[in-house]
C-alpha cells in the first residue's frame, strides 16, 4: 500500500500490527520479570503484586497472540482461504529462499557477499511478497509453540483444578503430564513447572536473539521506528529491500515459487 | 483445639450423627479431626456399633513398619480408644499379635491360638474382613514373588489369597499404595519388581491386583509414614458405612486412589505451610538450620498433595517443614523418584542426560548474549 505523498514509502505495519506488537512486547517483558520474581524470590516487588500482575498480563498476551495477530495475518490478504493460507506461508513460514538468505547473511557477517534482501515488495500488485527476516520466521513458529506450552503449563501452576465451562482442563493437563513426567523422574506437576520455567528462559533467549542480533544493526533500526511508531518503510532505502517491478518479478518468481505454485507444480516421473 | 474448632465441634453436638450424610460426615471429620469427632459422637458411635464387629486383617510386605508405628503413635484417640469406639477387631497384625509362625518339618503346626500362619489362613477362609496392606509386594524374580517370603510362602501368594476374600482393601503407606522406595529407580528395580496393591508408581496397569487379575475396591492412604488420622478416619468412615464401597469411591478418591479429603487434588502442602509467608516475601533458607522458606533446599511441598499443613503431625503440633526439614512429597505416587535428590530444588534436578534445565537455559541465554555482543561489534564496525 503506497502513501500519497511519497511513491517509495509504503505501509509495512498497520496500526493493529503495531499495537499488537507493542502490547505483546510489554506483556511479555512483564510476564518474564514477574515470573522470575516469583521463581527466584527477587525482592523488587511483593509476591502478591507480582502474581497479580502476572495473572493480568496472561489474558492480554494470549488475546494478542491468539486473536489479534491471527486476525491481522488473515485480514491483510485479499481473496479466499487459499489466498490467505498462501499469504501466511509466504510471509511467516521459513522456506527454501529463506534458507538461502540465512546462508548469505552468515557469509555477510564474515565479510563475504552482500546482506540479502528479505523485505520483498511487489510494486505492481502493491504489497509485500515477504518482509520478515528469515531467522525471525523460525523464531515466530517456535514462539507460537512456546506460548502454547507456557500457557498450558501455566494453567496447572495457577490452579490445580481449573475448569472451563465445567470441563476439568487442569485435570486433563495433569493427566498428560503423567504420561511424560515419570519418564524423566518427575511428577506431572513438577514436569509442568519445569516446562514453564524452560519456556520462560526460551522467551528470554528469543528476546536476546530478536533484539540483540536480528535487530541490532544500524541499518535495521528503521524497522524499530516502523513497528513501534510510523508503520512505514521507505523502499528507496535499499538495505534489505528489494522492489519487484514487471521485469524483475518474473526473475523473482522463477527463483522463488510461492507455496501455491509449489502445490500446482506438475510431478515429473 | 483452637476456638474455631471448638465452636464447630459444639455445633456438631446438636446434629444427629446417624442422620448425617456422607459429605457432612467427611467435612466434619476433616475439619475437626478424629479427636473431636470421635469425642463428640462417642456415645452414638458406640451404641450404633454395639451390634457390629469389623474384622481387620493387616498384612506386612516389604516395609519398615513405620506406618504401623505412626498409627500406634496416634495421640487422641490412640489406637486402643479407636478400636474400642469403632468396635474393630484387629484379627491379624503381624507386629502386634501374640502368635508366631511355627513350622514342623516344613508344615504349619499347632492351632491358630499359637500359630499365626494358621490364624491368617483361617481368617481368610472365614472372609468378611477389611484387608489392610502395609508394604510393597514383590513380583520378582520373574513373577515368582520370591524376593519377599514370609513363613514358608511368598508375600505375593499370601496377598493374593487375602485379597480375593476381602470385602475392601486399604493400602496404607506409599509402599503398599505405589511401591514406594522398594520400586525406586535402581539397578535392581526390574528384577525385584516390587508393586503397590493397585498401582506401581503412577501406573495402575502394573498394580499387583492387575497382575493377579483380581478386581477389588482399593483405598490408598500413602505417606512415609501415613498419618494416623488418615488411616483411622478412613477406616472409621468405611466401618461406619459413611463410605459405601465401591459406590462412593469414584467421587471420594482421586485418580491415584487417595481420599481427596486428605489428599486434595486442587491443593498442595505448600499452600498451608507454616513457612509460606517467607516464600511470599521471597525469603529463602540456603542452609537447613534457618526458619525461612525451604524451597531452595529442595522442598517438594509445591508438588505434594496432602493436608499436613492443616492437620499437622504429632498430635497436631508440628510437621516436616515446621520442624526444619524440606517436604519430600512422600504421598506422591512417584515417590521417591519424583522427589530425588531430596534436598535439591526440583528445577535444579538433572532431567535429560543429567542436564539441569536451569543451568542449561542460563548458558543458552548467556551464549546468545555473547553472540549478540559479537554481532553488535561486527555490525557497528561495518557501518563505519
Task: Say whether B281 and A46 touch across the interface (CB within 8 A).
Answer: yes
Q: Is A187's CB within 8 Å of B329's CB?
A: yes
For residues B172 and B61, give the distance between their C-alpha atoms in angstroms, rounded to a whole number. 11
State the burial class of residue B316 (Cβ atoms within 10 Å of its Cβ: 0-12, 13-18, 19+): middle
- Is 0.90 exceeded by the ipTM? no
Nearest Cα of chain A lies from the Cα of B278 at a distance, in angstroms, of 10
In chain B, residues with a C-beta closer than 8 Å to the C-beta of A159 are 266
What is the average pLDDT score of chain A? Answer: 86
Total number of residues shown for chain B: 384
Annotation marks residue B148 as catalytic:
no
Low-confidence winner among A64-78, A93-107, A204-218, A250-264 (lowest mean pLDDT):
A250-264
A252 Cβ neighbours under 8 A, 6+ residues apart? A120, A129, A242, A244
In a domain, B290, yes or no: no
How many CB atoms neighbour CB B335 within 10 A? 28
Q: Are B103 and B151 in contact (CB under 8 A)?
A: yes
Catalytic hit among B148, B227, B299, B305: B299
Whether B183 is catalytic: no
Distance from CA of A87 to the nearest CA of B (A): 31
**Domain containing A117: what range?**
9-243
**What is the 8-class DSSP label of residue B259?**
B
Do the beta carbons of residue B240 and residue B48 sit within 8 Å? yes
Among residues B60, B227, B270, B305, which one is catalytic?
B270
Q: How many angstroms separate the CA of residue A199 from the nearest CA in chain B? A: 9
Query: Measured at the alpha carbon of residue A250, what is the angle toward residues A245 and A255, in degrees to the nearest 5?
Result: 120
pLDDT for the residue numbered B108:
87
Lowest mean pLDDT among A50-64, A114-128, A238-252: A238-252
- Kindly state the cell numbers that stand for B255: 485418580
CATH of the domain at B220: 3.40.50.700
Minimal CA–CA distance to B270: which of A170, A175, A157, A45? A157
B270 is catalytic: yes
Give tens-digit pLDDT for A10-41.
Answer: 889 999 999 999 999 999 999 999 999 988 88
B308 among known catalytic residues? yes
Q: Does the residue B142 lie in any domain? A: yes
CA dihedral sign of residues A63, A66, A71, A77: positive
DSSP helix/strand/coil, A129: strand
Which residues on neighbouring strands pair with residue B168, listed in sequence order?
B130
Residue A254 in domain: no
Contact A190 B280 (CB under 8 A): no
* Residue A262 CB neighbours (<10 A): 12
How many helices (H) and strands (E) in chain B?
A: 15, 13
Q: List Cα–Cα distances, B322 to A55, A111, A112, B281, B341, in angstroms.
A: 30, 63, 65, 17, 20
Q: Give the whole-angstrom CA distance, residue B57 versus residue B60.
A: 10
Q: What is the DSSP letter of B173?
A: S
Is A78 contained in some domain? yes
Averaged pLDDT for residues A86-107 = 91
Non-local (6+) Cβ contacts of A182 within 8 A are: B201, B202, B203, B334, B337, B338
| Residue A47 grid cell | 509476591
Instruction: Give the pLDDT score at A114.
Output: 87
Q: How many domains does chain A have?
A: 1
Q: Cα dist. A55→A48, A51, A52 in Å?
A: 10, 6, 5
Q: Which residues of B touch A54 (CB under 8 A)?
A: none
Is pLDDT above 60 for A89? yes
Cβ neighbours of A218 in B, within 8 Å:
379-380, 383
Q: How far apart are CA B323 and CA B294, in angstroms?
A: 11
Does any domain span residue A103? Answer: yes
d(CA B47, CA B40): 13
Q: Cβ–Cβ of A205/B365 closer than 8 Å?
A: yes
What one-character DSSP code corresponds to residue A17?
A: H
Query: At A124, which CATH number?
Result: 1.20.950.20
The residues near B153 (Cβ < 8 Å, ≥ 6 apart) are none
**H helix runs in chain A, sequence order:** 15-40, 47-63, 69-75, 81-92, 96-109, 134-158, 169-180, 188-207, 221-225, 246-255, 259-264
Banded model confidence at residue A217, pLDDT cuts 50, 70, 90: confident
Cα–Cα nearest to B286, from B296, B276, B278, B277:
B296
A240/chain B closest Cα distance in angstroms? 14
- Nine-digit cell string for A178: 503423567
Does the distance separating the beta carbons of A39 and B379 come in below 8 Å? no
Q: Which residues contact B349 (CB under 8 A, 6 or more apart)?
A: A185, A186, B340, B341, B356
User: Within a domain: residue A249?
Assistant: no
Quote the domain boundaries for residue B241: 52-252
Other C-beta atoms closer than 10 Å to the C-beta of B17 total 19
Q: Look at the block and give the residue holding cell 509386594.
A: B137
Residue A226: left (phi > 0), alpha (psi -120 to 50), or beta?
alpha
Write the DSSP symbol of residue B194: E
CA-to-CA distance for B75 and B316, rounded, in angstroms?
9
Residue B111 lies in a domain: yes
Does the pLDDT at position A264 exceed 90?
A: no
Q: Which residues of B touch A197 (CB under 8 A)?
A: 347, 357-358, 361
B chain contacts of residue A40, beta-carbon cutoff 8 Å: 282
Question: Among residues of chain A, what percentage have pLDDT more than 70?
Answer: 89
Closest by Cβ to A187, choosing from B265, B332, B375? B332
Low-confidence stretches of chain B (pLDDT < 70) are 1-52, 75-77, 382-384
Q: How many CA atoms lie within 13 A of A89 on its CB side?
A: 17
Nearest to B203 by CA among B183, B225, B226: B183
Contact B376 A160 (CB under 8 A): no
Among B279, B352, B357, select the one facing A197 at the smallest CB separation.
B357
- Would you call B338 and A178 a contact, using CB atoms and an 8 Å cutoff? no
Indicate whether A175 pLDDT > 90. Answer: yes
Whether B335 is covered by a domain: the verdict is: no
Tell me the three cell numbers of residue A203.
Answer: 522467551
Composition of chain B by helix, strand, coil, percent to 5: 45, 15, 40
Q: Say what the pLDDT of residue B8 is.
A: 57
What is the total count of domains within chain B?
Answer: 1
CB atoms A205 and B351 under 8 Å: no
Name which of A45, A153, A187 to mutate to probe chain B: the one with the most chain B Cβ atoms within 10 A of its Cβ. A187
Specify the 3-state DSSP secondary structure of A168. Answer: coil
Cβ contact, residue pair A189, B302, below 8 Å: yes
Q: Is residue A222 part of a domain?
A: yes
Domain annotation covers residue B194 = yes
- Establish whether B60 is a catalytic residue: no
Chain A nearest CA to B323, separation (Å): 22
A106 lies in a domain?
yes
SS3 A47: helix
Amino acid at each position: 500500500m503506497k502513501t500519497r505523498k511519497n511513491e517509495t514509502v509504503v505501509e509495512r505495519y498497520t496500526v493493529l500490527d503495531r499495537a499488537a506488537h507493542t502490547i505483546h512486547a510489554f506483556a511479555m517483558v512483564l510476564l518474564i520479570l514477574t515470573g522470575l520474581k516469583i521463581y527466584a524470590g527477587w525482592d523488587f516487588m511483593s509476591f502478591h503484586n507480582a502474581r497479580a500482575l502476572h495473572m493480568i498480563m496472561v489474558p492480554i498476551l494470549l488475546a494478542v497472540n491468539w486473536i489479534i495477530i491471527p486476525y491481522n495475518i488473515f485480514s491483510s490478504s485479499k481473496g479466499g482461504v487459499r489466498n490467505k493460507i498462501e499469504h501466511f506461508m509466504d510471509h511467516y513460514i521459513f522456506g527454501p529462499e529463506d534458507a538461502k538468505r540465512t546462508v548469505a547473511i552468515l557469509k555477510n557477517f564474515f565479510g563475504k557477499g552482500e546482506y540479502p534482501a528479505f523485505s520483498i515488495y511487489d510494486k505492481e500488485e502493491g504489497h509485500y511478497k515477504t518482509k520478515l527476516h528469515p531467522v525471525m520466521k523460525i523464531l515466530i513458529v517456535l514462539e507460537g509453540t512456546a506460548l502454547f506450552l507456557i500457557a498450558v503449563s501455566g494453567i496447572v501452576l495457577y490452579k490445580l483444578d481449573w475448569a472451563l465451562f465445567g470441563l476439568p482442563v487442569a485435570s486433563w493437563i495433569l493427566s498428560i503430564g503423567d504420561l511424560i513426567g515419570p519418564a524423566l523422574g518427575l511428577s506431572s506437576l513438577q514436569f509442568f513447572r519445569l516446562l514453564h520455567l524452560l519456556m520462560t528462559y526460551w522467551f528470554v533467549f528469543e528476546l536476546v536473539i530478536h533484539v540483540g542480533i536480528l535487530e541490532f544493526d544500524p541499518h535495521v533500526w528503521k524497522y524499530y521506528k516502523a513497528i513501534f511508531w510510523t508503520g512505514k518503510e521507505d523502499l528507496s532505502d535499499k538495505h534489505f529491500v528489494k522492489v519487484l517491478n514487471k521485469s524483475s518479478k518474473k526473475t523473482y518468481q522463477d527463483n522463488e515459487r510461492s507455496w501455491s505454485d509449489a502445490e500446482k507444480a506438475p510431478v515429473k516421473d | 483445639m483452637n476456638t474455631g474448632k471448638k465452636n464447630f465441634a459444639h455445633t456438631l453436638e446438636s446434629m444427629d450423627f446417624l442422620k448425617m450424610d456422607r459429605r457432612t460426615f467427611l467435612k466434619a471429620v476433616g475439619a475437626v479431626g478424629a479427636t473431636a469427632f470421635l469425642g463428640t459422637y462417642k456415645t452414638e458411635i458406640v451404641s450404633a456399633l454395639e451390634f457390629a464387629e469389623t474384622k481387620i486383617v493387616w498384612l506386612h510386605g516389604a516395609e519398615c513398619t513405620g506406618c504401623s508405628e505412626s498409627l500406634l503413635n496416634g495421640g487422641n484417640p490412640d489406637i486402643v480408644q479407636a478400636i474400642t469406639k469403632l468396635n474393630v477387631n484387629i484379627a491379624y497384625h503381624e507386629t502386634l499379635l501374640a502368635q508366631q509362625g511355627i513350622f514342623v518339618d516344613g508344615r504349619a503346626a499347632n492351632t491358630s491360638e499359637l500359630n499365626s500362619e494358621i490364624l491368617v489362613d483361617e481368617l481368610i477362609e472365614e472372609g468378611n474382613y477389611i484387608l489392610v496392606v502395609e508394604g510393597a509386594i514383590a513380583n520378582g524374580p520373574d513373577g515368582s514373588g520370591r524376593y519377599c517370603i514370609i513363613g514358608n510362602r511368598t508375600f505375593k501368594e499370601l496377598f493374593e489369597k487375602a485379597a480375593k476374600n476381602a470385602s475392601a482393601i486399604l493400602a496404607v503407606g506409599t509402599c503398599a499404595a505405589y511401591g514406594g522406595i522398594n520400586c525406586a529407580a535402581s539397578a535392581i528395580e526390574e528384577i525385584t519388581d516390587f508393586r503397590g496393591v493397585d498401582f506401581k508408581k503412577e501406573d495402575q496397569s502394573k498394580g499387583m491386583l492387575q497382575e493377579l487379575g483380581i478386581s477389588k475396591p482399593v483405598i490408598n492412604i500413602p505417606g512415609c509414614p501415613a498419618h494416623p488420622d488418615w488411616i483411622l478416619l478412613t477406616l472409621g468412615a468405611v466401618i461406619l458405612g459413611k463410605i459405601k464401597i465401591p459406590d462412593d469411591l469414584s467421587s471420594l478418591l482421586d485418580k491415584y486412589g487417595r481420599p481427596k479429603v486428605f489428599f486434595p487434588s486442587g491443593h498442595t502442602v505448600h499452600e498451608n505451610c507454616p513457612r509460606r509467608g517467607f516464600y511470599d516475601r521471597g525469603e529463602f533458607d540456603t542452609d537447613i538450620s534457618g526458619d525461612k522458606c525451604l524451597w531452595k533446599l529442595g522442598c517438594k511441598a509445591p508438588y505434594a498433595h496432602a493436608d499436613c499443613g492443616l492437620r499437622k503431625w504429632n498430635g497436631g503440633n508440628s510437621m516436616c517443614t515446621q520442624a526444619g526439614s524440606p517436604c519430600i512429597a512422600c504421598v506422591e505416587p512417584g515417590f521417591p523418584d519424583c522427589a530425588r535428590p531430596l534436598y535439591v530444588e526440583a528445577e535444579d534436578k538433572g532431567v535429560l542426560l543429567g542436564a539441569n534445565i536451569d543451568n542449561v537455559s542460563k548458558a543458552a541465554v548467556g551464549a546468545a548474549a555473547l553472540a549478540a555482543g559479537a554481532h553488535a561489534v561486527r555490525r557497528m564496525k561495518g557501518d563505519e
